[in-house]
Amino acid sequence: MATVSFDRTRKAFGAHEVLKGISLDVADGEFVILVGPSGCGKSTLLRMLAGLEQATGGDIRIGGRSVIGVSPKDRDIAMVFQTYALYPHMTVSENMGFSLRLAKAPKAQADARIKTAASMLDLGQLLDRYPKELSGGQRQRVAMGRAIVRDPKVFLFDEPLSNLDAKLRVQMRAEIKALHQRLKTTSIYVTHDQVEAMTMADRIVVMNGGNIEQAGTPLELYDNPANLFVAGFIGSPSMNFIEGILEAGSTFRSKGGFTMPMPHGLAAKMGREAVYGIRPEHVEIARNGREPTLSPTITVVEPMGAETLILAEFDSDSISVSYRGRDIFKPGDKLPIVIDPNQAHLFDKATGEKIR
């Protein structure tokens, strides 16, 4: 196990700068997830840590030791690839034991480690099979087994679940998390799926355009997003954004002229252009004679069983509402809603930063 540090790490491909000076410290045993849209640089950062890409600036340290110029094999890390990268001509056992074979580990010791990893991942019956004889989930387990056998300082995961179907993804998510809780090896995991990030991470690092937008625990990011990008990226369904202006009396007025209550305790400048953010699950339906904040017109109703997602429009804006219940709403109906100001967020329109 080891700490990992990125210190103003940069990467450019020709004139195109992919990472613009990343600084991040990962604690010993921590499970950190790098999340962001395609092209944000998260996989490049992981590959640089693995030694598969060279940094063009800054430093990368594993266990306090700089690994700039150190070959991948000497970094004591193991990586699980998106395509699994299992050697097709080797059996499961040979795949898992390949690194030990190269390191000329004694056969008895290698066999024992393969056996331990296989039993941990329920692969005991598959050791003599070839990758082509395995299902996607089994291949994924073998790829993890290959990493575990090495007992590395750091585990790296590069979108390991993206090739699996939805059901298997949920199952593997739980297995990876359980595995980390058992092994406690420092792990860095890349995904574009914010649900994966929220459910698995000790800490999430949200990246965008080669920069870190925000790093924090899943609930910190959910409850207190630093800017519009993080607010829109974390949480499913996404946060509603309504553009408007701040007015006297702690009021937000949307472009269409609707007013909404400001989060309490916020002393914002009057006349400032802002974006009002509220999560769909924080919008309530006005019942029992409660005065609605808004009554938009329903455009789409998406029943999902446990909850229902409704998309509604008011003037030029739209708002989505997620609630537990089975009220019969249909497109065209008015939806009386109440917005809790304490659950709302305000962002500066020009900078995207949260107004505090």
Tell me the closest approach of the beta carbon of residue 82 to other proteins, in angstroms. 8
What distance in Å separates the CA atoms of residue 307 and residue 280, rounded to the nearest whole number?
11
How many binding residues for other proteins (CB under 8 A)?
Answer: 22
Order of strands, sheet of 154-158, starting from the edge strand that comes earlier in the sequence: 77-80, 154-158, 186-191, 31-35, 203-208, 211-216
Maximum Cα–Cα distance for the chain, whole Å? 77
Please, which residue, 45 or 212, has the CB nearer to other proteins? Answer: 45
Tell me the closest approach of the beta carbon of residue 132 to other proteins, in angstroms. 13
What distance in Å separates the CA atoms of residue 329 and residue 310, rounded to the nearest whole number?
9
Please, which residue, 77 or 321, has the CB nearer to other proteins? Answer: 77
Rounded alpha-carbon distances, angstroms, from residue 146 to 35, 42, 116? 24, 23, 11
Among positions 21, 63, 72, 261, the unique one binding other proteins when judged by CB under 8 A = 72
Tell me the closest approach of the beta carbon of residue 72 to other proteins, in angstroms. 4
Residues 74-93 interacting with other proteins (rule: CB under 8 A): 77-79, 81-83, 85, 87-89
Type of residue found at 197: A
Cα 345 to its chain centre, rounded Å, is: 21
Among positions 13, 66, 103, 257, the unique one binding other proteins when judged by CB under 8 A = 103
Please, which residue, 109 or 297, has the CB nearer to other proteins? Answer: 109
Please, which residue, 85 or 170, has the CB nearer to other proteins? Answer: 85
Rounded alpha-carbon distances, angstroms, from residue 356 to 21, 41, 214? 26, 29, 16
Span of 99-107, 171-179, 211-219, 342-350 interacting with other proteins by CB under 8 A: 99-107
Please, which residue, 83 or 316, has the CB nearer to other proteins? Answer: 83
Among positions 99, 138, 185, 240, the unique one binding other proteins when judged by CB under 8 A = 99
Residues 15-54 interacting with other proteins (rule: CB under 8 A): 50-52
Asked if 154 contacts 188 with a C-beta cutoff of 8 angstroms, the reply is yes
Tell me the closest approach of the beta carbon of residue 103 to other proteins, in angstroms. 6
The angle formed by the CA atoms of residues 164, 218 and 212, to the nearest 5 degrees, is: 90
Tell me the closest approach of the beta carbon of residue 305 to other proteins, in angstroms. 38
Tell me the closest approach of the beta carbon of residue 105 to other proteins, in angstroms. 11
β-bridge pairing 77-80 and 154-158: parallel
Span of 15-23, 96-104, 209-217, 233-241 interacting with other proteins by CB under 8 A: 96-104
Which 3 state secondary structure label does DSSP give 271? Answer: coil
Among positions 11, 42, 150, 282, the unique one binding other proteins when judged by CB under 8 A = 150
Bridge partners, residue 11, by sequence: 19
Please, which residue, 95 or 138, has the CB nearer to other proteins? Answer: 95
Residues 203-217: b if buried by 16+ CB within 10 A, e if exposed:
bbbbbbebebbbbbe
Please, which residue, 78 or 188, has the CB nearer to other proteins? Answer: 78
Closest CA to 262 of 241, 273, 276, 244: 276
**Interface ranges with other proteins (CB under 8 A):** 50-52, 71-73, 77-79, 81-83, 85, 87-89, 98-99, 102-103, 146, 150
